[in-house]
Structure 1
């Protein structure tokens, strides 16, 4: 569902209820500027993102990534 920022301001409670079952896209001055989501959907998306980055970090470690501290020390040596 797409609405204007003015519509959201005037009927916030209505769109808050709607956002529990579907995202509400907010348009301001002709541009999509925000999305109102349920907390459950927000939580699902952030958990999915956390799992993605954890998997990427695990893969990097398996390929030989030594960590932030050792990487920064290596870069400082190279530029010294």
Structure 2
């Protein structure tokens, strides 16, 4: 898996998309991984193969928002 800084991802968004279409890319902020960007086909494959995938992804995102103290949408 490739990685890039958040700054590089911001200023090279087209490159990030190109890389993510071939393999997942970890985006790091202050040297720590914060997100993974992947092709939609890979995301859908993972979601379909996991038991309750969509529900667990949503639950994980909501839990992360609560930990950060952000308002849920």
Structure-1-length-normalised TM-score: 0.60
List runs of 5+ in structure 1 lacking aligned partners. Answer: 54-80
Structure-2-length-normalised TM-score: 0.66
In the other structure, the counterpart of 1:27 is: 28
Task: Provide the C-alpha distance between the structure 2 equivalents of 1:47 and 1:23, rounded to a whole number of angstroms.
Answer: 17
Structure-to-structure mapping, 1:43-54, within 5 angstroms: 43-49=44-50, 52-53=51-52
Q: What is the root-mean-square deviation of aligned Cα atoms in Å?
A: 0.9
Moved over 3 A (4+): none
**Shift in Å, 1:14:** 0.9
| SS of structure 2 residue aligned to 1:20 | helix
Task: Provide the C-alpha distance between the structure 1 equivalents of 2:3 and 2:19, rounded to a whole number of angstroms.
Answer: 11
In the other structure, the counterpart of 2:8 is: 7
Aligned residues: 51
